[in-house]
Amino acid sequence: MIGSPENLTTEQAAAVLGVSRPAVIRLIDAGKLDAHLVGAHRRLTLGDVLAHREASAARRQAALDEMTQVAEELGLYG
């Protein structure tokens, strides 16, 4: 799946993140994911992509934990 240990294409990054290639482009354009140009093509480092994946997972888990706590406080869960 990964051609170079240093650089990923946007398609490879999308596969690692479990999102579409256009979603990766939007993340890059929004400044949420770093990329550099190789010729006319965007490339991302594996480390940056994995760090983004881990940060996203941590944010999702925190949001789920907060929703669970609120639901328990309201007597809706547990």
Express each pLDDT in 47-64 by its tens digit.
999 999 999 999 999 999
Buried b (16+ CB within 10 A) or exposed e, 15-27: bbbeeeeeebbeb
Domain count, the chain: 1
Place of tokens 């579409």: 20
pTM of the entire predicted model? 0.78
Q: Is residue 78 part of a domain?
A: no
Q: Is residue 55 part of a domain?
A: yes
What does R_g of the chain's alpha carbons equal in angstroms?
17
Is the per-residue pLDDT at 4 higher than 80? Answer: no
| Whether the Cβ atoms of residue 13 and residue 42 lie closer than 8 Å to each other | no
Q: Which structural domain, as residue segments, surrounds residue 43?
A: 7-73
Q: Is residue 64 part of a domain?
A: yes
Q: Is residue 1 part of a domain?
A: no
CATH of residue 65: 1.10.1660.10
Q: Is residue 2 part of a domain?
A: no
C-alpha–C-alpha distance, residues 56 and 53, integer Å: 5
Residue type, 20: S
Over the stretch 5-46, which tens digit does the pLDDT of each residue have? 689 999 999 999 999 999 999 999 999 999 999 999 999 999
Q: Is residue 12 part of a domain?
A: yes
